[in-house]
Amino acid sequence: MTFPFYVSPEQVMKDRADYARKGIARGRSVVVVGYDEGIAFATENPSRALHKVGEIYDRIAFAAVGKYNEFEALRVAGVRYADMRGYAYDRSDVNARGLANQYAQTMGAVFTTEAKPLEVEIVVAEVGATPADDQVYRLSYDGAVAEVRGYAVMGGEADRLSGLVGAAWTPGLTLAAALRIAVQALGSAGPDGGADRSLGAAGLEVAVLDRTRPRRAFRRVTGEALDHLLGVEG
């Protein structure tokens, strides 16, 4: 006589969470930091085609770690949602909170109903008229969403890097100072020791939401402009 194979729901959820966390841990971290004139995103990424940070709408950006094809599909879905809502209602009705809620529903549904969870973590950020108006939401593989203030770190070493960023970050930093904090954290030695790495513009992907721009706040920072910012005293 054979008995049907049974796994408790608790064990299924635990196995899915462990699987997702392991996939995310293999990716390089993304650091999001607020500065006096906007929100900056930095990650170690030598590719100039496979971006981990991208524009969603006028003043909204998206950043992710994990499996590229999965978070790129989420980004594209976010762009379509924002375009449709802006067209049906008004551009001002498109905001980061609504987009984060949509992502939370999608990621939560996949985690609970599909055989394999999404191996991604994402941040949705919206720059406001002042730093107090900025909105940054961090979403986990299971759809859990949290609003963060000042800075956020995603990826396999998120806890360690978040401690480094938190120890150095203060409100009102210049872009140069904020980027140096992010890049120094990304290049810091891990728990296994070794020397800190000096990351140059060629190995980084950096973008900002610039509140001083009239409508489309997103822009990438590359090449000599990035080298200049990383070398400037803030």
Return the structure tokens found at 206. 């950096």
DSSP letter for each residue of 33-94: EEETTEEEEEEE---SSS-SEEEEETTEEEEEEE-HHHHHHHHHHHHHHHHHHHHHS-GGG-
Task: State the chain's mean pLDDT as an integer.
Answer: 92
- Between CA 133 and CA 127 the distance in angstroms is 7
DSSP 8-state code for residue 131? G
Residue 192 pLDDT exceeds 90: no
> What pLDDT is attached to residue 193?
62
- Between CA 73 and CA 149 the distance in angstroms is 26
Residue 65 lies in a domain: yes
> What pLDDT is attached to residue 233?
46
Residue 151 lies in a domain: yes
Q: Which long-range contacts (CB under 8 A, 24 or more apart) does 108-113 make?
A: 108/142, 108/143, 108/144, 109/143, 111/16, 111/20, 111/141, 111/142, 111/143, 112/13, 112/142
- Give the list of residues 6+ apart from residue 174 with CB closer than 8 angstroms, or none: 35, 36, 234
- Between CA 127 and CA 211 the distance in angstroms is 6
In this prediction the pTM is: 0.92
**Which stretch of 69-83, 114-128, 188-202 has the lowest confidence by average pLDDT?**
188-202
Return the structure tokens found at 40. 């900056």
Which one-letter amino acid corresponds to residue 153?
V
Which tens digit of pLDDT belongs to each residue from 42-98?
A: 999 988 899 999 999 999 999 999 999 999 999 999 999 999 999 999 999 999 999
The partner residues of 190 in beta bridges, in order of sequence, read 193
Residue 70 lies in a domain: yes
pLDDT band at 31 (very low <50, low <70, confident <90, very high): very high
Residue 44 lies in a domain: yes
CATH code of the domain covering residue 48: 3.60.20.10
Q: Are strands 204-210 and 151-154 parallel, antiparallel or unpaired?
A: unpaired
Domain count, the chain: 1
**Range(s) of the domain holding residue 96:** 27-231
Residue 63 lies in a domain: yes
> What pLDDT is attached to residue 46?
87
User: Are the C-beta atoms of 31 and 185 separated by less than 8 Å?
Assistant: yes
> What pLDDT is attached to residue 36?
96
**Mean pLDDT across the stretch 21-28?**
91
Residue 175 lies in a domain: yes
Residue 7 lies in a domain: no
- Between CA 22 and CA 27 the distance in angstroms is 9
> What pLDDT is attached to residue 2?
61
Which tens digit of pLDDT belongs to each residue from 123-182?
A: 999 999 999 999 999 999 999 999 999 999 999 889 999 999 999 999 999 999 999 999
Beta strands in 117-221 (DSSP E): 120-126, 135-139, 145-148, 151-154, 204-210, 218-221
Residue identified by tokens 């992907």 is 205
pLDDT band at 27 (very low <50, low <70, confident <90, very high): confident
Nearest C-alpha neighbor of 152 from the set 37, 57, 42? 42
Residue 20 lies in a domain: no
